[in-house]
Structure formats: structure tokens, C-alpha cells
Amino acid sequence: MDKINTRTAILTELRCAKTVVVNFIRADGVHRTLYASLNPAVVPESAWPKNTKGFEATQPDPDVIRCYDTEKKAWRSFRLDSVTNWQAS
């Protein structure tokens, strides 16, 4: 699957599913599992973006996906080319 289709698929699941489990390799070479969401029903309202464009404005770089880490309760990001696998849960 190419990068554009992968990005679209991951973002769709992040917006719709309760949680998406993303496995990737961090910039320092460490493998990381991220439990992520962009679903407004999952992300606490206090963590929502403050701008009027909402969650859409959180994706300015086409090579990076920014999402809410449901375990760490904070915003995180990952590079598409570092993803080893992902799955909606």
C-alpha cells in the first residue's frame, strides 16, 4: 500500500475507531507501541485542539500523523515511514 493510501486509512480509523494500535520505530531506533485516537468521543474535550478547524488542523505534515495517545493522555506523532504495523481495535 502506498504512503497516501496508508495515511488515509490510518487517519480514517483514528477518527472512527475507539483506539488504533500503531507499532513504529522512533527516531532513536526504539520500537514503540502507541494506542492512539482522533475520535472526539475518546479524546477528552480538554485536550481538543483550540483552533476552529479542530482535529483536521493537527495534520499539517503529510509524512507525519499527530494523534492523541490514550495511555499517556497526551498528543504524540509518528512518521508514516516508521510504521511497522497498525490495527484498529
pLDDT value of residue 61: 85
Query: What is 17-81 written as a DSSP string?
Result: SS-EEEEEE-TTS-EEEEEEE--TTTS-GGGS-SSTTGGGGG---TTEEEEEETTTTEEEEEEGG
Which domains, and CATH codes, for the chain?
Answer: 3-88 (2.30.30)
**Alpha-carbon distance 49 to 30, whole Å?**
28
pTM as predicted: 0.86
* Side-chain-facing half-sphere of 26: CA atoms under 13 Å: 7
**Alpha-carbon distance 1 to 4, whole Å?**
8
Neighbours of 62 (CB within 10 A): 10
Measured between its terminal Cα atoms, the distance across the chain in Å is 20
Give the percent of the chain with pLDDT over 70: 85
Say yes or no to pLDDT of 24 above 70.
yes
pLDDT value of residue 60: 74
Cβ neighbors of 81 (< 8 A, separation 6 or more) are: 3, 63
pLDDT in tens, 45-88: 888 877 655 566 567 788 999 999 999 999 999 999 999 999 99
